[in-house]
Amino acid sequence: PQCGSTDRTTRHQDTLACPCGFEGHADLTASETFLKRQTENAARPMARPVRFEWDDHDWSGISHPHESPKEQRTDPSTAHHSGNVASGESA
């Protein structure tokens, strides 16, 4: 609802009603509210893209025994050198 209330709303089947006078489709209103809440936060970086190039009859983005001077390998760690990276061992 436009008033921002989430605890005073009433759902009846597919309709959502609010004391402020708002009426709408319950699922669409919930989806819109969810999206608004998610976009309020600053965007965080996601996985870095890898540039693929056809080289030696294979895609150069996958591991090869040779290194092509045209490609730059990505760092597979989830953090840069100063961050914590899981070692694969348990304590």
Residue 18 lies in a domain: yes
List the domain range (segments joined by +) for residue 26. Answer: 10-40
**What three-state secondary structure class fits 82?**
coil
Kindly provide the residue ranges of all beta strands, DSSP E only, lying in the chain, ordered along the sequence. Answer: 10-12, 15-17, 23-25, 54-55, 58-59
d(CA 44, CA 48): 12
Are the C-beta atoms of 55 and 40 separated by less than 8 Å? no
pLDDT in tens, 40-54: 777 777 777 766 666
Residue 71 lies in a domain: no
Residue 47 lies in a domain: no
pLDDT at 91: 52
pTM: 0.38
Q: How many domains does the chain have?
A: 1
- Residue 16 clears pLDDT 80, i.e. is over it: yes
Residue 88 lies in a domain: no
